[in-house]
Amino acid sequence: MSTRQQRREANQAGRFYNVKSGVNSFFTDQALLGQIQQAVQLVTPLLVEGHLLANLHVLRCIEAGEAMPKLDQTFYNRCFYAVSFGTGNRAQQFNRASDPSLATTHDTLHTQSLPANHQRPERPTSVKYMLNAAALKARVDLDNHVATNFFTRSRRWIRLQLEHKLGHKLHFANMEAARVKSWVSLLCRAATEDSSIWDLLPIYTSLREPPQDVATELEHLVATMQSLMGPLPVTDESLRQETQSYLAWLHLVLSDFQAAQDTPRAPKLFSMTPQASSQAKFITINSASLLR
């Protein structure tokens, strides 16, 4: 963590720091603070349930072979509307006819995941603009969620395949950790850079060309990855611009991680889309959202 003096020096040099602070530490208007806290308390349950519905819908579409909807700001707004009921002047409800597939996910998977006595959260008209901002942030968070974790999860999946499917042939149990890491890196590069394993092999001087049967299985592993990925080569830019094109691949990764939970050093599970916390952190507020 930077010290105050370091921040001052950075400011003088033209660099700036973001310093996180709680609202109570700088907000002195108690009357307005109460309104802000009330608005946040109304929106937070909507965000939690809306993000859960979005994740379940993506999973259902992939597993049912349905066309994936465009995961944009409008999609997340529909999720927020679907999990809540509108109140107040000119209240709007979720239009089921506009997205029957999302309505199906809500009626089945989402409803089943909630407690029996669950009550749908209220959505006053006054929080409309807060939800619009939250939906836009959710879309940006999705891009970051996929782009930030894509290569780490892909490499972990490759290692899982090598350890549990090819370990008896490559003798990974008796290999140095560095060599295992090199194989994982090579195969990930071959898949994501749309390159040949054997063109990249000379770069990794600690590795040797495996027997033909193992080589065939390694080629099949790379082909499996590429068949489910979006545009190749995979770059940070392609991950952010074509996020949906890589979700089918990440679904396979998640499924294999789930199947390996009973094994030693089981991989960590993850959600297909980012999930909201029940503790409000960053919610956009304007004057309209404070007038009920």
Which of 3-7, 23-27, 51-55 reaches the highest mean pLDDT? 51-55
Distance (Å, rounded) from C-alpha 82 to C-alpha 58? Answer: 15
What value does the mean pLDDT take over residues 131-160? 95
Task: Give the DSSP H/E element, type plus range, for residue 85.
Answer: strand 85-87
Q: How many CA atoms lie within 13 A of 273 on its CB side?
A: 28
Given a cut of 90, whether residue 221 has pLDDT beyond it is yes
Any idea which residue has 């054997």 for tokens? 198
- Taking 90 as the threshold, does the pLDDT of residue 178 lie above it? no
Residues 94-135 pLDDT 10s:
999 999 999 999 999 998 888 888 889 999 998 898 899 999
Record the pTM. Answer: 0.82
pLDDT range class, residue 189, cuts 50, 70, 90:
very high
177-204 mean pLDDT? 92
Average pLDDT score, the chain: 86
What is the mean predicted confidence (pLDDT) over 39-44?
Answer: 86
Selection from 39-48, 103-112, 275-284 with the highest mean pLDDT: 103-112
Cα-Cα-Cα-Cα dihedral of 176, 224, 62, 139, to 10°?
60
Percentage of the chain lying above the pLDDT 90 cut: 61
The answer, yes or no, to whether residue 19 has pLDDT greater than 70, is no
Q: How much of the chain exceeds pLDDT 70, in percent? A: 84
Instruction: Measure the CA–CA gap between 218 and 215, rounded to whole angstroms.
Output: 5
Can you give the pLDDT at residue 288? 57
pLDDT at residue number 1: 43
Residue whose tokens read 């082909």? 223
Q: How many CB atoms lie within 10 A of CB 140?
A: 12
Which are the contacts of 74, defined by CB distance < 8 A and separation ≥ 6? 135
pLDDT at residue 258 is higher than 70: yes
Cβ burial of 155 (10 Å; 0-12, 13-18, 19+) is middle
